[in-house]
Amino acid sequence: MSMRLDKYLSNMGVGTRREVKKLIQYGKVMVNKEVVKTIDYKVAEDKDHVMVYGKTIGYAVNVYMMLNKPAGCITATQDTKDKTVLDLVNHKRKKDLFPIGRLDKDTEGLLILTNDGQLAHRLLSPKKHVPKVYYARIKGCVTLADCKLFLVGVTLDDGYKTMPAKLEILSAGEASEVYITIHEGKFHQVKRMFEAVDKEVVYLKRIQMGGLSLDSNLKLGGYRELREDEVQALETF
């Protein structure tokens, strides 16, 4: 498969189409160790060796990033009112990225950003039942009875009965701490599940999606590209 040289370079974040055209015309670009000044020169992404100012520009078709989403920003690519998760990212392929799924505005934690539509489809498919693990602080005393109810599914305010969910109590009292694992992604699902047992979620953070866990060293608002083994862990679903 081949593409125009200017498109190749702009896709890899070297610059805008206009900027990379100037680089090509000024002789700053080499393909297979030869200077190329033709803008529409065709390069094979998987075979040709492209360099700009002596630096190799390898072609990566897909980008995978982990973001530790803070509260206060929305899961969207753009918005005229609120800060989006992509506003937190400074990356050469930023314009290609989109979030897989969504986290509520006030929810923190693991969010995957990518340009891989096939992976997004697999992870979000209702048929896949990809597990998502959350840490939550709850107003009210979470009990073993709640755990048993969640394990068979609870009925939400609109009459929908959820799939079985695993509820693990970390501490219980007037304020409780739990881990909850769900296999679907209904609107405000975790919050509505606890409302169904007369309790309130006061803090929610996603810590795992599929085989990928949130990097504990990643600060709120921080992000990094996924390692190959982490991408493979996601692709098993």
Positions marked active-site: 104
b/e map of 12-42 (b: 16 or more CB within 10 Å)? bebbeeeebbebbeeebbbbeeeebeebebe
Residue 80 is encoded by which pair of tokens? 């005229």
Q: How far does the chain reach from its first CA to its final CA, in angstroms?
A: 28
> How do beta strands 108-114 and 200-209 pair?
parallel
Crossing angle of the two packed helices 117-124 and 228-235, in degrees rounded to 10: 50
